[in-house]
Amino acid sequence: MIEKTYALWCKRATEDPDVVAELKAIANDPDGIRERFYRELEFGTAGLRGIIGAGENRMNIYTVRKATQGLANYLNTRYTAAAVAIAYDSRIKSDTFARQAASVLAAGGIKVYLCDTLQPTPVLSFAVRHYGCQAGIVVTASHNPAQYNGYKCYGPDGCQMTDADAAAVTACIRTLDIFEDVQTMAYDAAVAAGRITLVGEELLNAYLEQVERQQVTPGICAKAGLKVIYTPLNGTGNLPVREILRRIGAADVTVVPEQELPDGRFPTAPYPNPEIRQAFEKALELAAVSRPDLLLATDPDCDRVGIAVRDDNGYTLMSGNEVGCLLLDYLLARRAEEGTLPASPVVIKTIVTTPLVAAIAAKYGCELRDLLTGFKYIGEQIGLLEKAGEEDRYVLGFEESYGYLAGTYARDKDAVVASMLITEMAAYYRTKGKTLLQRMQELYEEHGYYRNRVVNVAFEGEQGMLTMGRLMDTLRQSAPTAIGGVPVTAVADYYRQVRRDSLTGEEEVLTLPQSNVLSYTLEGGAGVIIRPSGTEPKVKGYVTSVGATPEASEALAATLLSATEALMHSAD
C-alpha cells in the first residue's frame, strides 16, 4: 500500500518542484518512502504540524489543500455564507501554504480575509472576531526548527478549534482523496472576484489599539529610563512589538540586527524557542556591550515571549512560571491601587503551571481557574465570562510555556501584549529601585520557594509513536507509590477522568475534558505531571517542588526531575 501511494504521488504531485525532487531522491530508499507515507499527518486540536517535504506525513501544498478542503466542507454544511481569516508567519513556504488554503476556500464559495504580509498568531485570533468569521487559519510551527511548518485552525470565537469541531473536520478530511477531491480556484482570479480580500494595516492598527488599552501604569516607560534589547528571532514580532513599545513610551529599544528581518531558516537561532538560552545568544552578545535592563525574545509566530534580566553577574533568564507570577502580582496590585480591580477578579492557568499562582491569587481575593494544557481552554473561559456579561472580571491567563494574555480582544496567547506589559512592569519597578529578579525574590520570600522543571523525552518516527502509547499505558496500569523517594498521595488520570487518593482509596470525578495526562500529587506540596506533547513527538514531564529555602527546593526538584525522567523511559 505504501509503495502504491508513493507511485501515485510520483505521477500526480507535479506542481511543486521541491516535492518532485524529493520523491525522485527517495526512489531507492524504502525507509525514506515509509517514513513519508506510513501515515497521514494527523489533524489534531492544533491542526497540522510536521516536517516540510513530500508525502502524506509531511507539510506540503497537497496536505494543506486536503486539510483545507475538509475545513471547507465542514463549514459549508453548517453555514450558508462562511468566512475564514488566514495569517502566516516567516517559515519556509508559509506564504505559499496560506495562499493555497485561500484558493481552496475560495473555490468552495467561502469568503477569505488573507493577511497581505506575515502577522503574529494573536492577530489572527483577533481577526476572526474582528471580521465576523466562522473560522481562522494560521500557518506556523511556532518555535519548532526550520524544517517544520504547521497549520492551526480557529473557531468563530477566536480560540483554537475545540476537540469536537476538530474531530468533525477530521471526519470530513478522511473522506477525501488528496488528488481527486480537492478543488482550487486560481489565486489571482479569486482576488479579482472578491472571494479573497487582502487585509493589512487596518487590521494591525485595530489590534494594536486593543493591546495598548491593557496598560495599567500609562506613561511609566517614558520616565523610567529603561533600556531594552529585543529579538523577534526572524519572525513576525518585529513590527508589532516595536510599534507597541514605541506607543507606550519605551524609547530605548535596540533590535538584534541578525534576527530582525523575517527568515524561516533561522540561521542564528536553529531552535527559535524563547524558553531556551540558545535563542538569546545574539541578544546576550549585544547586551554585553550596551548593558540594557531587559532582554525580550518572541518566537516566530509571536505568541510567546521569554525574557532575561540584568543581574550582578550578567543576565538571568526567567522562566514562564516566574514571568506569569510577576505579571499576575503586578496587575492585581496596581489595579487594586488604581481602583480598577473588579470585585471578583479571575485568573486562569493550566494544570502544569506553578501552584504559586494560587497563593498570589488568594492574596487579592482572585478566583483561580485551573485547566488542561492548551490556551484554547483559557480562551474558552474568557468566552464564558463574556457570555455572562462578566468579561471585565478577567485579569490574566497564562501557561508555563511562556504564553500570556491580558484583555479579551484575542483568545490565544499574545507575545505583543505580554512584551508591552513586561516592559511596563520592568519600568515601574525600576522607578522603585528594583529589578524583576528582586521582585521575584520578594514573592518567593512571601509565599515559599517554588521550583518548576520540565523534562522532555523524544519518541521519533513510527516506532516512537507506539512507544509513547505503551509508556502512558504502563504508567496508567502501574501507578508509582513514590517518585524520587517522596510518597505519592494522589493520582489524577485525566483520560479516565478520575482522581484517586492513595491513602484512602477514595475517588472523585474530574470535570475537565478527557485528556491523556497523569498527575501525581506528592507529600509536602510537590507534584509531577506526565503527558504526551500535542504538537511534537515527545512526552513531557513537569516537576514542582516547594521549600522553605531555595536550596531545599532546588535539591528536591533535582531529585524529582531525575526520577521523573526514569519513569518516562519505563516503556523503552
Task: Please list the active-site residues.
Answer: 142
The amino acid that residue 501 corresponds to is D
In whole angstroms, how far apart are CA 441 and each of 154, 217, 325, 435, 505? 39, 22, 11, 10, 39
Closest C-alpha to 112, from 55, 46, 166, 185: 185
**518, β-bridge pairs:** 493, 530
Residues constituting the chain: 572
DSSP E strands in 267-362: the ranges are: 294-298, 305-311, 314-318, 346-350
Distance (Å) of CA 495 to CA 134, 168, 539: 30, 20, 15
Q: Which three cell numbers stand for residue 408?
A: 479579551
- Tell me the three cell numbers of residue 490: 494522589
The alpha-helical segments, DSSP class H, found in 193-264 are 201-212, 220-224, 238-247
Per-residue H/E/C for 411-470? CCCCHHHHHHHHHHHHHHHHHCCCCHHHHHHHHHHHHCEEEEEEEEEECCHHHHHHHHHH
CA distance 223 to 45: 44
Residue 231, beta-bridge partner list = 297
Cα distances from 170 to residues 68, 161, 164, 173, in angstroms, run 11, 12, 10, 5
Phi-psi bin for 233: left (phi > 0), alpha (psi -120 to 50), beta?
left
Exposure string of 447-457, with b = 16+ CB inside 10 Å and e = fewer, is: bbbbbbbbbeb
Integer Cα distance of 366 and 376 in angstroms: 21
Q: Distance between CA atoms of 13 and 458, rounded to whole angstroms?
A: 31
DSSP of 4-71: HHHHHHHHH--S-HHHHHHHHHTTT-HHHHHHHHSSPPP-BTTBEEEEBSSSTTSBSHHHHHHHHHHH
CB 315, CB 286: distance < 8 Å: no
- Cα separation, 154 vs 33, in Å, equals 32
Beta bridge partners of 253: 228
For residue 461 the three cell numbers come to 518516527
Task: Number of helices (H) and strands (E) in the chain: give both, helices first.
Answer: 19, 23
